[in-house]
Structure 1
Amino acid sequence: MSFEIDTRGQTQSTRPGIEEIMDPAPVVIRENYRGSGKLQGKTALITGGDSGIGRSVAVHFAREGADVAIVYLDESQDASDTKAMVEAEGKNCLLLRGDIRSEVFCKEAVSRAVNEFGKLNILVNNAAEQHPKENVTEISPDQLNDTFATNIFSFFYFTQAVLPYLDEGDSIINTTSVTAYHGSPSLLDYSSTKGAIVAYTRSLADNLAEKGIRVNAVAPGPIWTPLIPSTFDSERVKQFGKDTPFKRPGQPCEVATCYVFLASEDASYMSGQVLHPNGGQVVNG
């Protein structure tokens, strides 16, 4: 299956972006992807699960046997579409709308998921925001606070809320970014949060090792999601992903399988690690 795409330089006027209006649409799951029950009987909570990588993870988890709760901001149609995709796999999907910058909401979301499914086994901290600025002096205190609140504070909030329900063998998976390793001159605050996520993943993995709870991360490269046309101008969208060795952006389905692996028993001896689906870019760590 070819994943070559023409992004057409399309842009969107609202953030974090709407998958429903993307053309071409991101590839959520390969037609020939066959589930094998890797997550049978498990339940997962995924932030930013309405679209992009989060949607793809939700559908892959469902095909592998898991029920899924997805957290989203206000993209109701995208969330409903993801719910339909999960249910088409024969699994249950709970929609949780709210602002993950709020600790109160994060606790409520976890409580609702536990009430719905009776348990939680997998937490995917995935939601993020980014706001390009060419100069560090252009980053306002409000932008800085919002980016850190969404991209790293929420990871603490959800982890704290989920921990009482996680048992030995359960898993936390954090979404970081290739920018944590090679930086991004126009995404200074975003890249900083992604670096913090790497440190958080390693530290939390060590902290929870005695409980048998594994903590890992995925560091995607340039992936075709709603965040891209809603963030960058037309010219940058046209060139998106072409600076990788593969000369193209990746698709969400090329990333989601990393989460399946890390959530399953296949990764039973892995914790504190980061996987790098990034189109062939060599990074350390």
Structure 2
Amino acid sequence: MLQRNQMDITTYHQKYFRPSCLQALNLRFDTPEFYSLFSEKAHDQIKLPSELTITPEETLLNYFSVLREAENLGGRSCGTVGQARTPFPIAYNFLSEEYQRKLTYEDYFHSFAGVGHTSLIKLCRVPDIKHGIRFFYEIETIEGFEGKRAEYFGYYYGFIQLVNEKEGYRISDLSKIEEDFLCAPYHGWSHDAEAVVEVKYGSWCKLVQKIYPTVKNGYVKNIYFRGNDGANYCLIFFTLTNGTDVEIAQFRKVGNGKWKLIKMKPEEECLTEKRRR
């Protein structure tokens, strides 16, 4: 298990306490002309150009590009920030009809309270056990707080589901999880992919026979291990800006067969069984 004292101070500090140095992915619509097409229009008066939603990835890049300079700071007094609130009704139209029925425009708008700028720094399509269209994303925001005269950076990640409607792809569900920057470096093993495999799949489930060296590619970690059941396993993790590894997908392969997407739940399947004994 990777412990704090196994890292030199420079590596440890850079991993857990420094912000992202990744380039933003949502840099489209950088002129006022795009937003002028929708100015003075309510959310239910806007019709998105079809070219904005022709593929799932294009849909999300355009969605976050629209939101890049959307501002809902409240009491900031330094003048107009970005495109102010013009982007919000545009962005709302990237949601599916069903999602809009669950999430009103007012609730959608208020979900951005305090946000003055949004940068998309990670976007990757990930396997979906239900064979849907699912993406992982991470954003960096600039946020203001009541009583403060300066803004601060915040980081969030989550998963997005999309559906193909008659007018193009739309977002059918979106989760947003705050990243903490102090729990990961100071507490526990659950933030580290290698330790997660050792504890959850090894100690809890007694499944691990041999763990192979981690394969890293940017923020993606692939951890392979040989199971006590004779099968091979591959667990995919993504590393967040705060240094935490998030488990994305699990695959299992028997012999020379193909990798198959699976869904193991060690907390339910292994810990629960232990408590019953």
Q: Aligning the two structures, in what range does the TM-score lie when normalised by the shorter sequence?
A: under 0.3
Structure whose alpha-carbon radius of gyration is higher? 2
Structure number with higher helix proportion: 1
> Structure with the greater relative contact order (CA < 8 A, sep ≥ 6): 1 or 2?
1
TM norm structure 2? 0.26
